[in-house]
Amino acid sequence: MATYRLGIVGRTFAARLSSQAGRNFTHHLREQQPRLSLVRCYASPAGGSSAAPQSSFRLALKAMAVGALLGTGWSGYTYFKGDAGDHMIHEKTEPTFLNRLPDVKITRKVVNPKDDSGLELVLFQFQTCPFCCKVRSFLDYSGLSYSVVEVDAVLRQGIKWSDTKKVPIMLARTKSGRYVQLTDSSMIVSVLSSYLRDKQQDVGELAKYYPSISYVNDAGRKTNDIMNKYFLMLQDAKRQEKNDAQDEERKWRTWADDHLVHLISPNVYRTKDEAFETFEWFSDVGEWGVHFPKWERDLMVYVGAVAMWAIAKRLKKRHQLTDDVRSHIYDACDKWAVAVEKKKTPFLGGKQPNLADLAVFGVLSSMEGCQAFKDCLDNSKIGGWFYEMKKEVMSHRGQVV
């Protein structure tokens, strides 16, 4: 396998990885992240309370909701407690390959007749998960065609076949006809972006440059991450953009994942009312009423809204946010808007958005229907850039069928 060129840090990784790529890495470690976000991206039925179920059914539903709440609470507790003892540190895992697509229901397709990428992509997602929104922003802006499998965030039937229980998951067809499983939003964007800049490459081979690695973080918590996820793998040195621009793009992509995204839950689930309102919007855009039976949808509402309202308080503490959670997200929006303003171009990337623009837009679009977003429009400078981005992304997107 060729050694790919990266930025400063990436080159070291690339050298190391190219020698490792053929090796059989020990399997595996996933699932370090909380089941917290299990309900992060749920939808609630808009008419959840008005269409009252039969009383025995309601009882069963309540029992399930209580059970699920306890389960979620326990997952949350063990997550926050952390336990590095049973963790295998510094293990690397190569991406998984599947011989065929799993037997799942494709919820919808985005078809762009102009797409000549040669890619065949299936995205497993929750419609309003910020990480999934980020991936979709990239796919749509890039004019790619793709299939979507909407996953039920409680039962997660759609990803039963996978050993990774988080979304987004992307299956991409490789030159050999097998499908490579890409498991992190930033890694998905980096692999596909690398491919689009040099279509001679094989997505399966590219994915090997992004192994999963596990470690114990500074807080002593076991953590799983993907190496090189903010780096593009470009074979041709001439294709490298200026290092400064690359560094800046990486910096803001990292910021979107490490900072901005953590402000979403505390804001959209700030109060019980806001949590229910948020879930109603999720229901609309995720079309939960169409894709799932009513009992399953109702389960999501009860568990989702109440659990997320409770969990958001913990997240607020964990990310050291004050009670005035809105002020943090306003600050973040302004920080981004100022960075773009300084460029004196419509986007951070210049006349066209770069991967940082797409990441920040994707994360923010996950709360577009929530009161928190409306408040951001009224109290920060984000609106102008956000709607310019939306125009760009939507105008490149294929048709939804």
Ligand X SMILES: N[C@@H](CCC(=O)N[C@@H](CS)C(=O)NCC(=O)O)C(=O)O
Q: Which residues bind ligand X (CB under 6 A)?
A: 33-35, 37-38, 40-41, 126, 129, 131, 165-168, 184-186
The smaller minimum CB distance to ligand X, of residues 53 and 102, is found at 102
> CA-to-CA distance for 44 and 269, rounded, in angstroms?
13
Report in angstroms how near the CB of residue 366 gets to ligand X at its nearest: 8
Report in angstroms how near the CB of residue 357 gets to ligand X at its nearest: 17
The smaller minimum CB distance to ligand X, of residues 79 and 179, is found at 79
The pair of three-digit structure tokens given for residue 345, joined into one six-digit string = 């171009």
Residues written for the chain: 401
DSSP letter for each residue of 145-206: -EEEEEPPTTT-GGGTT-S--SS-EEEEE-TTS-EEEE-SHHHHHHHHHHHHH-TTS-HHHH
Report in angstroms how near the CB of residue 135 gets to ligand X at its nearest: 8
The smaller minimum CB distance to ligand X, of residues 140 and 184, is found at 184
Report in angstroms how near the CB of residue 346 gets to ligand X at its nearest: 26
Query: Which residues share a beta bridge with 222?
Result: 216
Report in angstroms how near the CB of residue 122 gets to ligand X at its nearest: 16
The smaller minimum CB distance to ligand X, of residues 96 and 112, is found at 96
* Residue whose tokens read 């609309």: 284
The smaller minimum CB distance to ligand X, of residues 131 and 347, is found at 131
The smaller minimum CB distance to ligand X, of residues 166 and 328, is found at 166
Q: Is 49 exposed, middle or buried (0-12, 13-18, 19+ CB in 10 A)?
A: exposed
Among 203, 174, 183, smallest CA distance to 132 is for: 183
Contacts of 12 (CB under 8 A, 6+ apart): none
> CA-to-CA distance for 279 and 276, rounded, in angstroms?
5
Strand, coil or helix: what is 308?
helix
The smaller minimum CB distance to ligand X, of residues 153 and 337, is found at 153
* Residue whose tokens read 């837009």: 361
The smaller minimum CB distance to ligand X, of residues 34 and 95, is found at 34
Report in angstroms how near the CB of residue 153 gets to ligand X at its nearest: 7
CA-CA-CA-CA torsion sign (97, 100, 102, 108): positive
What is the edge-to-edge ordering of all strands in the sheet holding 146-150?
A: 97-98, 179-182, 169-173, 121-125, 146-150, 108-111, 399-400
Report in angstroms how near the CB of residue 49 gets to ligand X at its nearest: 25
Report in angstroms how near the CB of residue 125 gets to ligand X at its nearest: 9
